[in-house]
Structure 1
Amino acid sequence: MPHIPLPEHLPGITGLLEYSQDTAQPIRELTQFLLRGENTLSAGERELIATIVSHNNECKFCTSAHTAAADLLLGESKTCKIIKQDIDKAEISEKMKALLKIAKMVQKSGKSVTKEAIELAKNNGATDLEIHDTVLIAGLFCLYNRYVDGLASVTPADPGFYEYLGERIVNHGYNRLPQGYDHLKNK
C-alpha cells in the first residue's frame, strides 16, 4: 500500500507523476530528452541503461517496465536477461558493455566511477557525450527507483501489465499522454 494516496488505476511511476504534475513535468521532459531525443546511442541501448540501474536498485516496477521497453526496441528479450546476470556475456558491443558497467557504478555511487572504466569506454569507441548521457541516465533512474520504492507505489505482479506499459513507453515516450490516464480506470 502506498505511503500517500495515489490514483488507484495508475501503479508505479505513473501514479506518482500524476499525483504531482508540477514536479512531474520537468522530470518527464528530461527523461524524454535523454531516452528518446537525438543521440548516438539507440533508444534500445538507453533503455538497457535504465534496465540495469533499476535491476541493481532492486526496483521491480522500473526493472519490469524498462525491460519490456528495451525488449521491444531491440526486437528480442535475450539481451536484458543476460545483462542482469553478466554484462560481459551479452551479445552487445564492447562500447555498450563498458557503458553499462559505468551505469552500474553510478547506481552504487557517483564516486564509484573509475578513470579505468571511463578509459575502457573511450577505448571501445564511446564519446564523451555518450559517457555523459550514460551517467545522467543512470542518476535519473536512481531517482526514479527511489521515488517509486520510497513511496511504496503499487507494483503489479501481472507480466501483461508491463507488456502494455513497455508498448506505451515505446509508442508514446515519456511525455504525459495528451488525454491523461482516465481511460486506464477500466483496465
Structure 2
Amino acid sequence: MPHIDVGNDAPGILGLMRFRPRTADPLNDLAEALLRAPSTLTRGERELIAAYVSRGNNCTFCTNGHAELAAQQLAGGLPAVRRVLDDHDVSGLSDKLTALLTVADLVRRGGREVTQESVAAARKAGATDVEIHDTVLIAAAFCMYNRYVDGLATRLPDDPDSYRRNAAHVIEHGYGK
C-alpha cells in the first residue's frame, strides 16, 4: 500500500510525477539528458545501466521499466537483458559495457566503492572519461529514482504489458512527454 495518496492511479514514478509536476520536470529533464541525449553509449546501453542499478536496488518498477526500454533498443531483446539482470550473464556484452556495469554497481553500493582500479579497468576496456562520468551519474541518479519510488511505496502496474507500452512511448517521444 502506498505511503501517501498521490491522487491518481498511475504506477511507480509516473504517479509521483503527476502528484508533483514541479519536481517531475527536473527529474524528467535529468533522465532525458542521461538516457536519450547524444552519446557514444547507445540509448539501449544507458537504459541497461539504469535497469542494472535498479535491479541491484531491488526496485521492481524501475527495473522492469528500464529493462523493457533497454530490450527494445538492444540486440537480443528482453531475453538478453534478463540474462544480464537476473543471472549476471554478461557474455553477450562488450568488454566496455561489462566494465561500465561494474562501475555502476560500485556506485550503487556507495560512491566511494569506485576505485582507481575499476576506472582503469573501464578505460582498458575502451571506455572514455565521458562514458565513465555518465555511467557514474546514471548510477547515482537511479539510486535516487529507486529510493523515490520505493520510499513512497508506489504501486506496480496492474497490467505487466504496460512496461512495454510505456517503453515504446518513451522511445518515440522522450521522458515526460
Query: Aligned partners of 2:80, 2:144: CA distance in 1, in Å?
Result: 24
Shift of 1:10: 1.0
Q: CA deviation at 1:87?
A: 4.2
Q: Aligned pair 1:154/2:150, yes or no?
A: no
How many pairs align?
Answer: 176
1:33 Cα offset (Å): 0.8
Give unmatched runs, 5+ long, in structure 2: none
Shift of 1:172: 1.8
Aligned AA (1:152) = A
Answer yes or no: is 1:34 the counterpart of 2:34. Answer: yes
Aligned position for 2:47: 47
Instruction: Tell me which amino acid in the other structure corresponds to 1:34.
Output: L
* Cα RMSD, aligned residues only: 1.4
Residues 1-187 of structure 1 correspond to what in structure 2 (within 5 A)? 1-75=1-75, 76-87=77-88, 89-156=90-157, 158-174=159-175, 176-177=176-177
1:65 & 1:162 partners in 2: Cα distance? 5
What TM-score do you get using the length of structure 2 for normalisation? 0.94
Percent pairwise identity: 45
Separation in structure 1 between the aligned mates of residue 46 and residue 124 of structure 2, nearest angstrom: 20
The answer to whether the Cα contact below 8 Å between 1:102 and 1:117 also exists between their aligned partners in 2 is yes
**Whole-angstrom distance in 2 between the partners of 1:129 and 1:171:** 25
Structure 1 counterpart of 2:17, which letter? L
Amino acid of the structure 1 residue aligned with 2:101:
L
Aligned-pair distance for 1:13?
A: 0.5
Per-residue deviation, 1:9: 2.6
Residue aligned with 1:89, SS: coil
- Give the residue type in structure 2 aligned to 1:41: L
Q: Gapped runs of 5+ residues in structure 1?
A: 178-187
State the alpha-carbon separation in 2 of the partners of residues 33 and 91 from structure 1.
Answer: 27
Conservation of the 8 A alpha-carbon contact between 1:53 and 1:138: yes
- Say whether the 8 Å CA contact 1:68–1:162 is kept in structure 2: yes
State TM-score, norm by structure 1: 0.89
